[in-house]
């Protein structure tokens, strides 16, 4: 994985290098995607521990301003049960409300994709609910399918060598 780098007023680091953010990342992922389905926080913490193992994938990134948590994104092998053949996936992109519209989400997504490509991966995927589709399209991700699964997800991909889109002012 690449070293931490700073973008304007924040830094993106691999969670393995900044383990003090582990509990916050787990809690945000749980609140955003798992709490309503009655999965315990411990379940997400266990899954997130896979992201700090000494394997190339999965991994998690954390955006921070010094010790202040700003957001997170992960790269995992599979994120959409309807498309198990597609891998890897940029997933669990979360930006704190007070850090939105500062390019944090765009930087996390772009960094996650670039870290995949640095591993020799030629194509990365992500899925999003319709509300967020425009954000990812604005970053240069290409829609391959819409209305997939029970949440009507859009499936996107980006290929190695494709330029990252402009930094958006949302997430």
For 14-70, what is each residue's pLDDT tens digit? 999 999 999 999 999 988 888 777 788 888 888 888 888 889 999 999 999 999 999
The conformation of residue 86, written as its DSSP 8-state character, comes to S
Rounded (10°) angle between helices 22-29 and 41-49: 120
Q: Phi/psi of residue 75, each to 5°? A: -120, 125
- Model pTM? 0.87
For 118-149, what is each residue's pLDDT tens digit? 999 999 999 999 999 999 999 999 999 999 99
Measured distance CA(22)–CA(20) in Å, rounded: 6
Give me the CATH topology for the region 5-159: Aminopeptidase (3.40.630)
List, as one string, the DSSP characters of 117-128.
HHTT-SEEEEEE
For 97-110, what is each residue's pLDDT tens digit? 999 999 999 999 99
Domain coordinates in residue numbering, the chain? 5-159
Mean pLDDT of the chain: 89
């Amino acid at each position: 994985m690449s070293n931490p780098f700073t973008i304007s007023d924040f830094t993106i680091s691999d969670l393995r290098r900044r383990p003090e953010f582990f509990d916050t990342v787990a809690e945000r992922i749980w609140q955003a995607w798992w709490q309503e389905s009655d999965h315990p926080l411990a379940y997400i913490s266990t899954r997130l521990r896979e992201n700090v193992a000494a394997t190339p994938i999965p991994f998690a990134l954390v955006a921070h301003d010094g010790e202040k948590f700003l957001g997170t994104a992960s790269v995992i092998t599979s994120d959409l049960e309807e498309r198990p053949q597609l891998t890897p996936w940029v997933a669990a992109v979360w930006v704190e409300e007070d850090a939105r519209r500062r390019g944090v989400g765009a930087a996390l997504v772009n960094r996650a994709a670039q870290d995949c490509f640095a591993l020799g991966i030629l194509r990365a995927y992500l899925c999003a609910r319709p509300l967020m589709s425009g954000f990812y399209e604005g970053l240069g991700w290409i829609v391959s399918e819409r209305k997939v699964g029970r949440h009507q997800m859009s499936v996107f991909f980006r290929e190695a060598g494709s330029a990252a889109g402009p930094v958006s002012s949302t997430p």
